[in-house]
Amino acid sequence: MPDARQPLAEQFATLPQQAEASRLGMWAFLCSEVMFFGGLFLGYIIYRHAYPHAFAVASRETDVLYGTLNTAILLTSSLTMALAVFASKEGQFKEVRHFLIATILLAIAFLGVKALEYTDDFHKHLFPGPMFADAGEPKTQLFFMFYWMMTSLHALHVIIGIGLLSAMTVRSAKNHFSAEYHNPIEITGLYWHFVDIVWIFLYPLLYLINRHS
Amino acid sequence: MNELAPATHTHTSAPAESYLDEHTVRSWLLTTDHKRIGVLYLISIVFYFLVAAVAVGIMRIELLHPHGTLLLNETYNKLFTLHGVLMVWFFLIPSIPSALGNFIIPIMIGARDVAFPKLNLLSWYLFMIGGGFVLYSIMIGGVDTGWTFYTPFSSTYSNTHVLTMVFGVFIAGFSSILTGLNFIITIHKMRAPGMRWFRMPLFLWSLYSTSIILVLATPVLAITLLLMAVERVWGIGIFDPRLGGDPILFQHLFWFYSHPAVYIMVLPSMGVVSELMAAFTRKEVFGYEWVAGASVAIAVVGFLVWGHHMFVSSQSIYAGMVFSILSFIVAVPSGIKVFNWTATLYQGSISFETPMIYALGFIGLFAIGGLTGLFLAALAVDVHVTDTYFVVAHFHYIMVGGAVMGFMGGLHYWWPKITGRLYPEAFGRLAAIVTFIGFNFTFFPQFVMGYLGMPRRYHNYAPEFQVYHVLSTAGASILGIGYLLPVIYLLWSLRYGKKAPANPWHATGLEWQTTSPPPKHNFDETPVVTGPPYDYTEDFEPKPSGVLHA
């Protein structure tokens, strides 16, 4: 693992080459992530089209308050992440750490809210399976299947993000970075913004559409 | 080791040092050297190939008689599932990219390693863990769904170990994604000074296109299998029509990956064949830019044709027509490649070394496979031959005739580079010819019996098909010899083969500029590229006769 004493991995010739490679690598990875979530979005769209009424009924069962709160939290965390990347380019690593820790705390807050919401959902029997609360529309289960799959996969990405952010905080504290070598923070930022963007699509799909129809 | 910005890398130790010099198990299992990882893949895929080949050997014996009694119905189903899963995900897809590609790509572009060496090792471990799950699911009883895992049979009705096997494929998928990602970044960012895009050997173009498919299609397979597993565990009904789901959705998602996956298997072979055509005709590949562009075109159009797997699935006739037209369009870039290889042969000084025989075999088999692909892309004909042996023969011509011939050609071509040893040329030529004959013997009768109505996946059949099955089984035994011969003489060459010179074929390409086997960091000095990839005009020198005969 490259660090401050030896920031250049041996397969690369120069630091800019290494930075460009890892940036492009993260973009390529995010492309594959888009295709991964894409399958779920496709299924959701198809069944929303096939069973509009059932999906409208089901989406009224989700808790818009939790959803909105989480959207606000996650958007704020994208801001703190962007500030961390900005500060790392300026070489101000104390600020970088503060912003990274703020991002981590917001991410934990997001998961906390999500946990509360999941608990409520369980009590309302909204988990697909034999115990499912059949609200008069059998296809509502399909909606909740997508709800659970999409949000739990997203939550898994948030958890991985917390791991990455923590690693960046520790490495920053150990002076592994400099104004010339801060590339890992930047690509962690790319990942984090992706996690945010996925939620930006999930929020209207799961919480907002058809709420008042 | 290297500090900031060393443009060149020099070894202080003796120049004979090669990547094979360390011998501990640890040095292999924890290596981040792309060459060693390539060799690890090579060993693993040969192992999976042998298991899958044994499975199909048993099936072919069973099919000798219309009412074969060797196997129970369930066992037969489990064998063809095993054969399909192992061959597709654990041999054909990783064969050229992960084994040969890992070894050759960084050397071909003049780099010290791939862009992300640790990720590369991780992808091998994921591959092995995935394979472990598949083998484990056979040991605890096997799976009877077929390699396509069609729902709702796989998600609701099958009483076999679908989850374990699907999990193995799921994990192997991530290995594919990581390998593809590594190659894309390596080809973008690690090229030696002077190697512009249109100075890259065609093998790199084809693997670049392949990697795009790996990165963009494989995640769709992953999410599809995940949805299927969720349905199987909780009975939710995404694909189960009783619960409002749609099994056709599974097929759309599955073939969105699995049709491009065919190009994952055959594009790398096309890259190998381009290299071989140039090296063994001593000519530049005719229409280099077109062959390069055709690789990218196949990758792009390949994403748009999945629906031709569902012509008889009750999808709308208009969707069928669109997918039919798009499927025909794939023939255009494929045709460009075949015609350009043929044009390369024209007035070339052709030498029939082992890799070249494999390459010519590839062209013959790929042409038959491709042309019968046009039959299947035509709506009306497809309805007649759907789920018959015609389809089986077609995809074996493309995937085995194409991918395996390319793999064998590439393996023989680069074997001296990988191992530093020469194999006995006469045996190599013999194996290539036996493989070609055995292959046609095995699969051509299947076109005929498929057209006459023999359904795939049946092991009891009408007696009039017996003659074709006997021919096919006889061919399979010849094919088996064709595959076993290289295993024997290549292993023999490791110990007794002559030491290989740096450039045994007198070929162009950076991989031939370094020693055989290459040193750990490939080049003592970063090479600088100054010309096009297949420059056989100026430094053309006839091969000293007999140099290759060990």
Q: CA B531 → CA B110, B280, B537, B541, distances in Å?
A: 14, 20, 12, 18
Distance of CA B12 to CAs B49, B111, B510, B524, Å? 41, 19, 22, 10
Task: Please tell me the predicted confidence (pLDDT) of residue A17.
Answer: 92
Summarize the confidence of residues B536-540 as an average pLDDT: 65
Query: How many Å apart are CA B358 and CA B400, to the nearest integer?
Result: 12
Chain A residues with CB under 8 Å of B230 CB are 145, 149
Residue A5's pLDDT band, with cuts at 50, 70 and 90, is low
Cα A113 to chain centroid distance, Å, stands at 14
Mean pLDDT (whole number) for B273-296: 95
The packing angle between helices A183-203 and A15-50, to 10°, is 10
Dihedral over alpha carbons B345, B348, B354, B358 (to 10 degrees)? -10
By CB atoms closer than 10 A (0-12, 13-18, 19+), residue A61 is middle
* Other beta carbons less than 10 A from residue A144's beta carbon: 23
Asked if residue B220 lies in contact with residue A39, where contact means CB atoms within 8 angstroms, the answer is yes
Q: How confident is the model at residue B357 (pLDDT cuts 50, 70, 90)?
A: very high
Side-chain half-sphere of B306: how many Cα atoms within 13 Å?
A: 20
How near does any CA of chain B get to the CA of A32, in Å? 5
Cα distance between residue B89 and residue B166, in whole Å:
11
Using CB atoms within 10 Å of the CB of residue B287, give its burial: 0 to 12 exposed, 13 to 18 middle, 19+ buried.
middle
Tokens of A151: 């949000």
pLDDT confidence band for A3 (50 / 70 / 90): low
Q: How far apart are CA B268 and CA A115, in angstroms?
A: 47
Instruction: Let me know: does B107 contact B510? Beta carbons within 8 Å.
Output: yes
Residues in chain B, overall count = 550
Alpha-carbon distance A62 to A57, whole Å?
10
Residue B98, pLDDT > 50, answer yes
With beta carbons less than 8 A apart as the criterion, state whether A198 and A37 touch: yes
What pLDDT sits at residue A1?
Answer: 52
**B34-43, B169-178, B514-523: least confidently modelled range:** B514-523
What's the pLDDT score for residue B7?
42
Tokens of B297: 């075109």
Measured CA to CA, the distance from residue B238 to residue B251 in angstroms comes to: 12
Please report, for residues A9, A10, A14, A42, A162, the alpha-carbon distance to residue A21 in angstroms, rounded to integers and kept in the order given.
Answer: 11, 13, 11, 31, 23
Nearest to B354 by CA among B421, B286, B442, B423: B423
Q: How many residues in chain A?
A: 213
Confidence of residue B407 (pLDDT cuts 50, 70, 90): very high
Q: Which amino acid is at B379?
A: L
Query: Could A31 and B215 be called an inter-chain contact, meaning their C-beta atoms sit closer than 8 Å?
Result: yes
Cβ contacts (< 8 Å) between B235 and chain A: which residues? 129-130
- Over residues B226-231, the mean pLDDT reads 93
Pick A25's closest partner by Cβ from B4, B115, B220: B115
H helix runs in B12-161, sequence order: 25-29, 34-62, 73-87, 93-94, 102-108, 117-139
Q: In the predicted model, is pLDDT for residue B11 greater than 60?
A: no
Residue B82 confidence class, pLDDT cut points 50, 70, 90: very high
DSSP conformation letters of B284-327: PPTTHHHHHHHHHHHHHHHTT-GGGGGTTTT--HHHHHHHHHHH
Q: Residue B236: pLDDT band by 50, 70, 90 thresholds?
A: confident
Q: How confident is the prediction for chain B on average, in pLDDT?
A: 91
- Give the model's pLDDT for residue B220: 96
- Interface residue A139 vs chain B (CB under 8 A): yes
List the single residue in B1, B189, B237 with the smallest CB-CB distance to A17.
B189
User: Chain A neighbours among B 111-150 (CB < 8 Å)?
Assistant: 111-117
Q: Which of A135-139, B510-514, B533-537 has the lowest mean pLDDT?
A: A135-139
**Rounded CA separation B262/B259 (Å):** 5
Find the mean pLDDT for residues A115-133.
86
Q: Which ranges of B140-246 would DSSP assign to H, the alpha helix?
A: 162-189, 202-234
Please say if the pLDDT value at position B15 is more than 90.
no
Q: Band of the pLDDT at B30, cuts 50, 70, 90?
A: very high
Percent of chain B clearing pLDDT 90 (strictly above): 84
Q: Does A40 touch chain B (CB under 8 A)?
A: yes
Express each pLDDT in B364-397 by its tens digit.
Answer: 999 999 999 999 999 999 999 999 999 999 999 9
Q: What is the mean pLDDT of residues B44-60?
A: 96
**Cβ neighbourhood burial of B264 (10 Å; 0-12, 13-18, 19+):** buried
pLDDT for the residue numbered B130: 97
- The pLDDT assigned to B545 comes to 36
Q: How confident is residue A136, by pLDDT bands cut at 50, 70 and 90?
A: low
pLDDT tens for B335-347 read 999 999 999 999 8
pTM flag (> 0.90)? yes
Of A28 and B242, which is predicted with more confidence? A28
Q: Is the pLDDT confidence value at B277 over 50?
A: yes
Contact B93, B269 (CB under 8 A): no
pLDDT, tens only, A151-179? 999 999 999 999 999 999 999 999 899 88
What was the pLDDT predicted at B2? 36
* For residue B23, pLDDT beyond 80: yes
pLDDT at B1: 33
| Count of helix runs (H) and strand runs (E) in chain B | 17, 0
B-chain residues near A149 (CB < 8 A): 226-227, 230
pLDDT surpassing 50 at residue B3: no
The answer on pLDDT for B538 being more than 70 is: no
Partner residues linked to B67 by β-bridges: B460
**Looking at the predicted structure, is the pLDDT value of residue B4 above 80?**
no
Four-residue CA torsion sign, B46, B52, B58, B63: negative
Q: Which residues of B touch A130 (CB under 8 A)?
A: 235
Other Cβ atoms closer than 10 A to B532: 15
Mean pLDDT of B341-358: 94
User: Could you tell me the end-to-end alpha-carbon distance of chain A, in angstroms, rounded to an integer?
Assistant: 54
Q: So what's the pLDDT on residue A162?
A: 97
User: Which among A15, A46, A149 has the least Cβ separation from residue B230?
Assistant: A149
